[in-house]
Each structure stands twice: as structure tokens, then as C-alpha cells.
């Protein structure tokens, strides 16, 4: 396992800490967790179980418009939320922030829907790749510029089920 970056134990410990922090910060409120499919699914299900508060969940899915619009970061919502955000304490849950373009676009879309508050929890951050600054409230791990798979993260839709996070360096 020379490609191991973050073991399942390291992930579980950190996700537990993040849940505790969120629980403290949202005491007396009811966070509305919005997960970005599909990558954030594994993280969201673990994180939510580390938060001992009444909470709700919803999901959306995005796909980028393709290489030509990559720099604009424009993304298409391929699945929208089931519920509105008006007056909710919205916590967006994402797997990884790389250039930041996807999250930046998404946050603008969601902010326009009138949540009472908006915070962001991500498992991984690759700050060296950032093209646009996005404000993130909870970060699991800051990592180097390496392509990673596992714990929800894919390469060509595969490897999402790996329990650890590994560096992918080809088949």
C-alpha cells in the first residue's frame, strides 16, 4: 500500500473532530447539510453521524460544461435540490476543493436562494491549485497537488469505494 495517503483511521478521527466542531458551532440550530454528488456522499454520511443535533440533508449533482468553459468554472446542475433553502442554516458538504471553480460557482447559486447562513465543510483541500479564492469553514486535510482516490473520490467513476484515500498514479 505505498500509495496510501490517509488511512481509514486517520479519516475517521478527523471526521469525528469536524463533527464535534460543527455540533458546537450549530448548538441550538438545525443545520441543513447539502452534499455534492457523488464524491461527497461518503464524507457526508460519516460527518452527519458525528453531529448529535437535529439536522436535515439534501443533495445536488453538478457537471462542468467542458474544457472550453473550464476557466469560467461554470457548472451545470444535473440534479437540483429537493427542498428550498429559504431561512435555513445551510452547510455545503464537498469532497475536495482543487481550483475552487466548482464550489465558487455553486456557492453563488445557493446563496441566491436565501439561506439564513451558509458555511462550507470539505474533506480535502489542494491550495496550491486554487484559481479562485473560496471561503471554507471546515477543512479535513490540506494535501499536496496529487490526484487522490477513495472514500468517495473517483478516477473515471471508479475507486469511490476504497476505504482509505490513496494517491492515484495510473493503472
Site for ligand IMP contains 3 (CB under 6 A): no
Please tell me the distance from the alpha carbon of residue 43 to that of residue 33, in angstroms, as a whole number. Answer: 11
Please tell me the distance from the alpha carbon of residue 40 to that of residue 13, in angstroms, as a whole number. Answer: 17
Site for ligand IMP contains 51 (CB under 6 A): no
Shortest distance (Å) from residue 152 CB to Mg ion? 9
Q: Where on the phi/psi map is residue 64: left (φ > 0), alpha (ψ -120 to 50), or beta?
A: beta
Contacting Mg ion within 17-56 (CB under 5 A): 39
Window contacting ligand IMP (CB under 6 A); options: 5-13, 16-24, 26-34, 91-99: 91-99
Shortest distance (Å) from residue 12 CB to ligand IMP? 20
Question: Cell digits for 141?
Answer: 486535510
**Residue (of 66, 68, 67, 64) closest to 77 by Cα position:** 64
Contacting ligand IMP within 27-46 (CB under 6 A): 39
User: Out of 82, 98, 137, 154, which one is annotated catalytic?
Assistant: 98
Where on the chain is the footprint of Mg ion (CB under 5 A)? 39
Amino acid at each position: 500500500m505505498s500509495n496510501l495517503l490517509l488511512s481509514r483511521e486517520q479519516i475517521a478521527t478527523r471526521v469525528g473532530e469536524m463533527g464535534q466542531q460543527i455540533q458546537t458551532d450549530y448548538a441550538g440550530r438545525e443545520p441543513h447539510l447539502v452534499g455534492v454528488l457523488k464524491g461527497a456522499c461518503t464524507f457526508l454520511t460519516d460527518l452527519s453521524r458525528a453531529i448529535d443535533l437535529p439536522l436535515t440533508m439534501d443533495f445536488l449533482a453538478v457537471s462542468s460544461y467542458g474544457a472550453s468553459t473550464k476557466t469560467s468554472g461554470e457548472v451545470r446542475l444535473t440534479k437540483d435540490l429537493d427542498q428550498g433553502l429559504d431561512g435555513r442554516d445551510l452547510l455545503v458538504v464537498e469532497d475536495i476543493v482543487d481550483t475552487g471553480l466548482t464550489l465558487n460557482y455553486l456557492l453563488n447559486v445557493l446563496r441566491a436562494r436565501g439561506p439564513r447562513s451558509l458555511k462550507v465543510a470539505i474533506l480535502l483541500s489542494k491550495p496550491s491549485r486554487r484559481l479562485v479564492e473560496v471561503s471554507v469553514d471546515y477543512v479535513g486535510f490540506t494535501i499536496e497537488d496529487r490526484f487522490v482516490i477513495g472514500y468517495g473520490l473517483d478516477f473515471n467513476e471508479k475507486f469511490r469505494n476504497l476505504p482509505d484515500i490513496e494517491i492515484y498514479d495510473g493503472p
